[in-house]
Structure 1
């Protein structure tokens, strides 16, 4: 069997970010091909060489007092196969100025053939460098609106954990650093190496959708009192089947005028708004109690539980059962909380 080449991974360390967005990729790439083998008394077959760098080569600080010293500086890296850019704090304007030297460095290595991955808000550095123009990308759901407005040429997909477009990868959220790292291990070394790495570290294989984790408002802020009345009506009658005409009558408007006003105020058409409202209500129920899925489906207005399951998965990226398993209290998930004997 042909021996697999060892790939070079460069993980950038930046001040004021969450250290896990850099450390998790270091540990995953370092473990691929080695940890599973070590645990099974087999000869290690490292798939990657991992280096950490900072802009100057000096230590970087985290917002919670942790200091990390890299191996070297950006300028010392002549070539690399993979670059990981972590998150670096929420003040994006300040951070883009502080870390401006990173931008031409990313462009140079991308032009040389490197895969470049931005973790969480690290995607902003790829966008600021112009690498993401016209390409699909993602970021954390809570900052996606800011990045969408700042970089309108990017095809943002805030519903996804991991995106890849022309060797440019992005991941949404802090622990999506795990997802994008395992994704690259699988892509470049195959499923078996990635699976063994995940099992050795007790990690799940890469997640794709982050929709189920988002806490997004059903409606955008607005001052239309007539539409607010309709929203309040829908919130207290979300299980009822109501027509657009019924809602228009409630607002005291003609049907076409109502639809136009409703979309302008909320950002959604009435049917889509009600659908989103029902899914949010279902998520809340799944998070707090152990009602059967059929009962929750009926309570939010869907007598056809198969349709409800399909709709829920399409919107959140998870089945109702999976959502409950992720977010409900231990007792509700069917797993009793640990108690010492």
Structure 2
């Protein structure tokens, strides 16, 4: 069982605190209860504020914590709720939070924040030289205040150096489901999402949802090439085209790309495309051929072969196992037996 600490802060959106509480408290419990199975709690959750007192959110809702940050004796995950849009006032008001975050990060604890809560993580220095996202409305403020952070507001989720950031207010849901998957795997995350009638985690605020593989490293030129790939993965791609985007020779690009990511450029492209295909098969009603075309493969037979290599099953079998469809919706009377 993982210990999760949700840090309540004043002035922000209450859903950025409540959504993680609901997701983590539902994992292993709600799905099982709906299907008449024994509940197996997977997370032990506590809520804290800076001083242990109730906080008032930006919408007038008061949230009472279990204690203060200094009461935390053990935690595997820390999730920060969002502050308001006035980052210049909110950041210094939470000064005691930053050494506490750095302490737990050094212990190996994962740190997560959604919306403007990512500014508090940036203020602690944990995002220096790392990729991060935040709400589009505060990103320019964050860029000025935290110039060392590689802000990518077009992404809903980012992960770097044991820190996960969510872009908007409701990205708190995506962030929480993403962390459930990291802890217990894809099937538990999907069950949690289905039980709460939520979509599976998205990671982009534009375009398709896909978790970019191996995106955290120190090669800026390769990182820029990856960012281009995330937006154009469905187009015809070759090593020559990718190298040209990076203004490098194909040989040098291939060498640096593999050093940075651990994969050849085209292996990386295939992994990115299959990740997108998984999301489409889980959440949309497109045919396998339509999914194949949507992720950049005109040859559906080749797509099926690649999909099986990376997931261990065919696209059809994957959809039957993981899709959120009409046959898997839970009703209060007469639970559907096909799931």
Aligned partners of 2:30, 2:128: CA distance in 1, in Å? Answer: 38
SS of the counterpart of 1:50?
strand
Q: Is the 8 A contact 2:87 2:141 kept in 1?
A: no
Q: Is the 8 A contact 2:132 2:159 kept in 1?
A: yes
Q: Is the 8 A contact 1:56 1:73 kept in 2?
A: yes
Structure of larger gyration radius: 1
Aligned partners of 1:81, 1:14: CA distance in 2, in Å? Answer: 20
Q: Which residue of 2 aligns with 1:259?
A: none
Aligned partners of 1:160, 1:133: CA distance in 2, in Å? Answer: 18
Q: Is the 8 A contact 2:24 2:43 kept in 1?
A: yes
SS of the counterpart of 1:211?
coil
State the shift of 1:76 in Å. 0.2
State the shift of 1:206 in Å. 0.5
Q: Is the 8 A contact 2:14 2:59 kept in 1?
A: no
Aligned partners of 1:87, 1:111: CA distance in 2, in Å? Answer: 23
RMSD: 1.6
2:92 maps to 1:93: no
Q: Which residue of 1 aligns with 2:57?
A: 62
SS of the counterpart of 1:10?
strand
Aligned partners of 2:89, 2:145: CA distance in 1, in Å? Answer: 14
Q: Which residue of 2 aligns with 1:133?
A: 128
SS of the counterpart of 2:116?
helix
2:191 maps to 1:208: no
State the shift of 1:74 in Å. 0.3
State the shift of 1:98 in Å. 1.5
Matches for 1:234-273 after TM superposition, within 5 Å: none
State the shift of 1:63 in Å. 2.4
Aligned partners of 1:211, 1:147: CA distance in 2, in Å? Answer: 20
2:180 maps to 1:185: yes
Q: Which residue of 2 aligns with 1:160?
A: 155
2:20 maps to 1:22: no
Q: Is the 8 A contact 1:116 1:169 kept in 2?
A: yes
Aligned partners of 1:144, 1:43: CA distance in 2, in Å? Answer: 44
Q: Is the 8 A contact 2:157 2:175 kept in 1?
A: yes
Q: Which residue of 2 aligns with 1:122?
A: 117
The alignment covers a number of residue pairs equal to 211
Q: Which residue of 2 aligns with 1:48?
A: 43
Task: Describe the superposition over 1:25-71 as per-residue Cα deviations: whole angstroms up to 9, x where unpaired.
Answer: 00000101111011111111111011100011111112222111011
State the shift of 1:129 in Å. 0.7
State the shift of 1:79 in Å. 2.1
Q: Is the 8 A contact 1:79 1:109 kept in 2?
A: no
Aligned partners of 2:36, 2:295: CA distance in 1, in Å? Answer: 45
Q: TM-score, normalising length from structure 1?
A: 0.60
State the shift of 1:310 in Å. 8.6
Q: Which residue of 1 aligns with 2:74?
A: 79
More divergent stretch after superposition (139-148 vs 66-75): 139-148
2:138 maps to 1:143: yes
Aligned partners of 1:142, 1:310: CA distance in 2, in Å? Answer: 30
Q: Which residue of 2 aligns with 1:105?
A: 100
Unaligned segments of structure 2, at least 5 residues? 209-293, 297-339
Q: Which residue of 2 aligns with 1:295?
A: none
* CA 1:45–1:148: 2 relative to 1, 3 Å: same
Q: Which residue of 1 aligns with 2:304?
A: none
Unaligned segments of structure 1, at least 5 residues? 1-5, 214-308, 312-341
2:29 maps to 1:34: yes
Q: TM-score, normalising length from structure 2?
A: 0.60
